[in-house]
Amino acid sequence: MSPLRHLAAAGLAIAALTTAPLPQAAAAAAAATKVLVIGIDGLVLDRIAAADAPALDSLIGTGSSSKTSLYANPMAPTLSGPGWATIATGAWPDRHGVTSNSWGTSHRLAEHPDFLTRLERADRSRTTYAIATWAPLVTTSAGTAIFGPEIDLRVPSGGDQATADQASRHIRATDADAGFLHFDDVDAAGHSCGAAGSCYRDAITDVDRRVKQVLDAIAARPTRAQEDWTVVVTSDHGHTDTGGHGGGTPGERSSLIIHTGPGVTPGRPAVAPENVDVAATALSRFGVTATGLDGRPLGTASTDPFDAVALKPAVHEATDVLGWSDTAPSGWRVDNTGMGAGGVTEWHGWAFTNDDFWTRTEAGQWRETNVRARGVFAVADSDEWSDRTRTGAFTSALVSPAYDVTGRTRATIGFVSHHRKEGAETATVSVSFDGGASRTVLTYTGDVVARVESVPVAVPAGAKRMTVTWRLANGDNNWYWAVDSPAVTS
């Protein structure tokens, strides 16, 4: 079926998500916020188009949709436990602590509760629900479920059709302010015939009918005309073409976010979202602020200067993915004084890349755990540069524009950092004021995994401009340093 026929066939699904025909001022004043997160285990975004899936096609056609990327070991394997915990809590596995499908009491869910629990704690009058085919999401015989006991309704349904049936009844009959649904059969098909198999496509068709059943229940609500519904579809992990997940290949690390509702810009976002953004989005729709989140509301505009870099095809790396550049963004520069000659072109000094490109250079070296970077980020990769004939060492500096610190006594350098240390290379952050001598404010002596840095700096009296330099020196096939989202606040 063509995409246009899919859209036409999903009329009730579209009706469930569009604004009712009320006068705009009255609708805005009366609209009640509603959020539903639909989790489809093991779903790969690229496989939806080949399936007969009119409801999902309509959500993609009227909303925002994007691939997302997950972690891999040693942070966590691409399994359901860490995947759903990441979506539910809005935190990466190094925070929530769920790193397997049998987490028992080995987790930090009390410190990082799911978004429905946070909504309940902010306002007990809200109606929250979690209905899941996979029981450990909502109830466990030992330990803690991903979705906590403060939620109004938690149901282990026992099967995907039962999930759809119970969710539809609940949505029609209650306030149903915020909810989470889990469907499992697509993942089972992935294990059976692989993401490229016909049974996987058939499973997408089956879950699509169930998604439409739920969307029809939303459309049939007697108060639908006075409600603003945000619906997010996501997944805990991907699959290989031949079936399976848990490893660090692009297929296994692949997830998705489809986002529909008020204020959503249709199409593919300029900067791919992350799965931790789902919880942040649900909370923001209800005006709830929370600490300990790694995510941000979907649709948040990027302020990262690196995201403005236009990426280009590979030169020496064996991939057809578009994803690197040696051209710094406006105001920035790369200083390769002392840089060796030859080597892999893409990594000759500081370069700019994205997750899809960089993690394909070589798997299993922790590049996949650079989870707090998003979009385009900067990389100094001595390890990959050394994969072709070269002379000398890797010595390169990334230099910022001059930040205005006039009248300030202190400034704070913020950035996301992902660094692996080996050998004699050095990684430092330094500052200079008004073109004066550099002063080191941070030195790495070991591994730093996906850390959000906040480096305080004393500003000399009378200083007006501060320049920041990230420098990796004397690298000799000695791992890498990735930096993202640089900013200076005073």
CATH number at residue 382: 2.60.120.200
Angle, helices 198-219 vs 54-62, to 10°: value is: 70
Same domain, 17 and 163: yes
Q: Which residues of 181-214 are buried (b: 16+ CB within 10 A; e: fewer)?
A: bbbbbbbebbeebbbbbebbbbbbebbbebbbbb
Answer yes or no: are the C-beta atoms of 404 and 288 closer than 8 Å: no
Tokens read off for 50: 């080949």
Helix and strand tally (H, E) in the chain? 13, 21
**156: β partners:** 132
Q: How far apart are CA 350 and CA 306, in angstroms?
A: 12
Same domain, 74 and 110: yes
Residues 6+ positions from 11 with CB-CB distance below 8 Å: none
Q: Is residue 22 part of a domain?
A: yes
Q: Is residue 154 part of a domain?
A: yes
Q: Is residue 329 part of a domain?
A: yes
* Residue 312 DSSP one-character state: B
Handedness of CA 263, 265, 271, 273 (dihedral sign): positive
Q: How much is the pLDDT for 26?
A: 40
Q: How much is the pLDDT for 19?
A: 32
Q: How much is the pLDDT for 141?
A: 62
Q: How much is the pLDDT for 106?
A: 85
The tally of domains found in the chain comes to 2
In the predicted model, residues of the chain with pLDDT beneath 50 are 1-28
Answer yes or no: are the C-beta atoms of 179 and 128 closer than 8 Å: yes
Range of the domain at 418: 305-489
Same domain, 332 and 464: yes
Same domain, 416 and 335: yes
Q: Is residue 298 part of a domain?
A: no
Same domain, 187 and 116: yes
Backbone torsion region of residue 202, taken as left when φ is above 0, otherwise alpha when ψ lies between -120 and 50, otherwise beta: alpha
Q: Is residue 294 part of a domain?
A: no
Q: Is residue 71 part of a domain?
A: yes
Q: Which candidate, 180, 167, 17, places its Cα nearest to that of 84?
A: 180
Same domain, 313 and 254: no
Q: Is residue 293 part of a domain?
A: no
pTM to 2 decimal places = 0.92
Q: How far apart are CA 193 and CA 201, in angstroms?
A: 10
* Residue 225 DSSP one-character state: G
Same domain, 342 and 237: no
Q: How much is the pLDDT for 167?
A: 98
Same domain, 278 and 327: no
Q: How much is the pLDDT for 30?
A: 53
Same domain, 274 and 341: no
Q: Is residue 383 part of a domain?
A: yes
Q: Which candidate, 329, 335, 334, places its Cα nearest to that of 302?
A: 329
* Residue 287 DSSP one-character state: T
End-of-domain residue from the set 253, 285, 317: 285
Q: How much is the pLDDT for 6?
A: 36
Q: What is the dihedral of CA 78, 80, 82, 83, to 10 degrees?
A: 80
Same domain, 163 and 252: yes
pLDDT tens-digit series, residues 341-356: 999 999 999 999 999 9
Alpha helices in 276-395, H assignment, sequence order = 277-285, 355-358, 382-385
Q: How far apart are CA 87 and CA 475, in angstroms?
A: 37
Q: How much is the pLDDT for 144?
A: 86
